Structure 1
């Protein structure tokens, strides 16, 4: 899959790709057992419980933004999993699918208080943020529990195209921010691993023994 998509093709495909990304993540999250919720993750600030809570919160925040709400940070941090990661994720993903699928949503702008200094973003851009977040957080979960992470070529290509545009400066990367600084990767690195490295993740990360 070429990364040189036209903007029109990207806009036409982005919601379909996002639904596929969510289905892909759901397959991995379904493998999480309650007794594993305290294990560490590649995200230094989060156990698996914290990571899953973040994913659910993000889904709820993106859904609210797509509905046209002027969202605040609290709406992006109040997700609950209550010992049922799979159910919590599936409910939050359904909210996203419904909101992103609404008539006219691609002409809207989303309020995203967690991105840079906040502001409103074109729908296709905002949904792209959600897509790459979903694909990469699926790796975080998979790495934490030793599950396979095999996004298809199209999901990788779309996510990589977005990741290449994420600023990599001290103001945009680091502790407490969405991503760690990018990790160097060779030109021969597979696209899946390159995607992870661009967003500050080591493809070789494993949970402590």
Structure 2
């Protein structure tokens, strides 16, 4: 059973996920941007560009009430770590001052709680990906991971696999919540 407070507290979850992800960015240096990541064919620079695009979409939702699905064309920033840090700060500011209660993504309407919760899953797991890419073990905090793990089956269906997520990876039942979360999303903890 999912606690309604979790769905309603999506902005809080997003804030905690961003805080975790920002901690992983402290480990990244410019010479590591070509390293492979747990995300298929992406190197670390491509992953950081993707995180930045996700933060842009979440920012659009807070400020405009809708998300454009077509990303802007062009090269990523020279310093993707600095770009993600700056974008994350602006995003949190936008969500703390918004009055949006629903948003449109493409043609679909969503509550802001669902959108920010989905954003929290994306940001936290990609924060884990960043840490792994630079050879660090930085588990997702257990309480955050438990909440995101409870919601992930509502946000990621079999239709999302294999296009957006790999098949779940089997882990022991007693694995840490962060390991179970990343395994559900197709990563090997």
**Unmatched 5+ stretches in structure 2:** none
On the 8 A contact 1:54/1:77 being kept in 2, the answer is no
C-alpha separation between the residues in 1 aligned to 2:28 and 2:68? 30
Is residue 53 of structure 2 the alignment partner of residue 57 of structure 1? yes
Provide the TM-score with structure 2 as the length reference. 0.89
TM-superposed deviation, 1:194: 0.8
Tell me whether 1:87 sits opposite 2:75 in the alignment.
no
Instruction: Tell me how far 1:136 sits from its aligned partner.
Output: 0.4
Please state if 1:111 is matched with 2:104.
yes
Residues 4-43 of structure 1 mapped to structure 2, 5 A cutoff: 4=1, 6-7=3-4, 9-43=5-39
2:118 and 2:155 in contact (8 A); partners too: no
Q: Does the 8 A contact of 1:60 with 1:95 survive in 2?
A: no
- Per the TM alignment, residue 30 of structure 1 is displaced from its structure 2 partner at its CA by 2.1
Contact kept, 8 Å, 1:57 with 1:79, in 2: the verdict is: no
Whether the 8 Å CA contact 1:52–1:81 is kept in 2: the answer is no
Residues 111 and 75 of structure 1, relative CA distance in 2, 3 Å threshold: farther
Cα gap change, 1:75 to 1:103, in 2 (>3 Å) = same
Equivalent position SS for 1:121: strand
CA distance in 2, matches of 1:120, 1:78: 28
Measure how far apart 1:100 and its partner are.
1.3
Indicate the larger mover: 137-146 or 12-21: 12-21
Unpaired segments of 5 or more residues in structure 1? 204-209
Map of 1:180-191 to 2, 5 A cutoff? 180-191=166-177
Runs of 4+ deviating beyond 6 Å: 76-79
Distance 2:56 2:74 in 1: 9
Q: What secondary structure, in the 3-state scheme, does the structure 1 residue paired with 2:64 have?
A: coil
**Contact 1:64 1:71 survives alignment (8 Å):** yes
- The offset of 1:165, in angstroms, is 2.1
Are 1:100 and 2:95 counterparts?
yes
* Higher helix residue share: 2
Which residue in the other structure is 1:148 paired with?
137
- Once the two structures are TM-superposed, the CA of residue 193 in structure 1 deviates from its matched residue by 1.0
Judging changes above 3 Å, is the alpha-carbon distance between structure 1 residues 133 and 77 closer, same or farther for their aligned structure 2 residues?
Answer: farther
| TM-superposition CA deviations, 1:106-140 (whole Å, max 9, x none) | x2x22334xxxx51211000000010111100111
Paired residues in the alignment total 189
- Residue 59 of structure 1 contacts residue 95 of structure 1 at CA under 8 Å; is this kept in 2? no
- Secondary structure of the corresponding residue to residue 136 of structure 1: helix
Report the CA distance between 1:159 and its aligned residue.
Answer: 1.2
